[in-house]
Amino acid sequence: MDVVSENRCFGGVQTVYKHRSATCGVDMTFAVYLPPDAEEGPVPVLWYLSGLTCTHENAMTKGGFQEHAAEYGLALVFPDTSPRGEEVANDEAYDLGQGAGFYVNATQAPWKPHFRMYDYVVDELRQELPKVQPFSGAHGITGHSMGGHGALTIALRNPGLFHSLSAFAPIANPTQSDWGRKQFSAYLGDDEAVWADYDATILLGEKGWKGDILIDQGTSDQFIDLLRPQALAEAMASRRQPGVVRLQEGYDHSYFFVSTFAGDHVRWHAERLHNAGRA
């Protein structure tokens, strides 16, 4: 585990790490924010999964999460969105290849050898975190756009690993969207039954979630037709899933939107994670 950078931030420490990933077969970079409370003992962890074209750095520098995490005593984890490097397959399009891992385990060439972001987040990086700092057993997960899709699908498929769940403008129904069908066909092949494991709307309808869910979506989001928040809201209503889809008037898809509501999400997760830690 190599330290790439380390900076004091709101009384805590923001660190970027690099390590060799056995899952992805290349060096991977991720960031961890430790709040001041981490100096006194283990703290809960909030995972943030980023969207298309992002690295670990975008939300770390633009999301505004650290101030709120310091206040509420949460650690933050910012993984990358895909494997990277000359040996890693790529595409000229911004929404496929490097920067667009979609948090799946690819089964098709040329993506299969490296694009295993689902296993990387669920298994490998979670096992690597104790090398950084001892954390409590309470983990929450959130994300934006493609990362919101990742947060929802990973939590819904692994309810034993996460105690709280939210998302910012997630790609909510990718099997019915051009932000999904294109990538799933490339990464997973043409069997749409396989795609269902990576569709939050389908998973929620089949499995539900053990707690409540917080979703924020801007009404002026330029990609709202690709995100399909209405499908997720309908699935929540049909299943009578506790939670809320908040339509935020005038907000778009940018980090200005994310940073505006970052405090709400951190506080929301903190309430659930600290209670989980006392259970």
Pick the closest to residue 115 from 145, 136, 91 (CA basis).
Answer: 91
Contact status, residue 78 vs residue 62, Cβ threshold 8 Å: no
Structure tokens at 258: 């994310």
253 catalytically annotated: yes
Contact in structure between 242 and 210 (CB atoms under 8 Å): no
Q: Of residues 139, 253, 265, 269, which has the active-site annotation?
A: 253
Identify whether 265 is a catalytic site residue. Answer: no
Catalytic residue among 80, 199, 216, 221: 221
Supply φ then ψ for residue 148, to 5 degrees: -65, -40
Q: CA–CA separation, 86 vs 204, rounded Å? A: 37
Distance CA 77, CA 120 (A): 13
User: Which one from 21, 50, 136, 145 is the annotated catalytic residue?
Assistant: 145
Amino acid at position 273, single letter: L
Residue 25: half-sphere exposure toward Cβ, Cα within 13 Å: 10
Nearest alpha carbon to residue 52 among 101, 119, 108: 101
Burial label, 211 (beta-carbon count in 10 A; 0-12, 13-18, 19+): middle
State yes or no: is 82 an active-site residue: no
The residues carrying an active-site annotation are 145, 221, 253
